[in-house]
């Protein structure tokens, strides 16, 4: 589970709290947005739609209809993909 804790508009950074209830860990991640993209539209550089206070609970199998959500981390890069089969939004952020 990931919680969007804050967004610094001036610096363009987000603070995201990664909570792992099984391992009983909480990791604070500070990232800036590289880009986001809706479906096949052009990428929008440097801005992501991550509302402060939102909780992102991965739903990779789409068990909640229309609520596909995948969050994964590769090194210092965080990828968030959400939406439906027909229309997905992807955001790439880095620390």
**In terms of DSSP H, where are the helices of 2-92?**
none
Which DSSP letter does residue 85 get?
Answer: S
Position 70 scores a pLDDT of 87
pTM of the entire predicted model: 0.76
Position 65 scores a pLDDT of 63
Question: pLDDT 10s per residue in the chain (95 long)?
Answer: 999 999 988 888 889 999 988 889 998 988 888 877 777 777 777 778 788 999 988 887 767 666 788 888 888 888 888 876 666 677 776 77
Position 60 scores a pLDDT of 78
Cβ within 8 Å of residue 60, ≥6 positions away? 68, 69, 70
Give the CB-side neighbour count of residue 41, counting CA atoms within 13 A.
13
Position 66 scores a pLDDT of 64
Position 61 scores a pLDDT of 76
CB of 5 closer than 8 Å to CB of 19: no
């Amino acid at each position: 589970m990931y919680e969007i804790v804050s967004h610094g508009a001036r610096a363009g950074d987000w603070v995201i709290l990664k909570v792992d209830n099984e391992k009983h860990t909480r990791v604070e991640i500070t990232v800036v947005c590289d880009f986001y993209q809706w479906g096949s539209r052009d990428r929008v550089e440097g801005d992501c739609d991550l509302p402060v206070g939102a909780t992102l609970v991965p739903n990779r199998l789409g068990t909640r209809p229309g609520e596909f959500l995948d969050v994964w981390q590769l090194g210092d890069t965080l990828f968030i993909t959400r939406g439906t089969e027909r229309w997905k939004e992807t955001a790439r952020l880095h620390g």
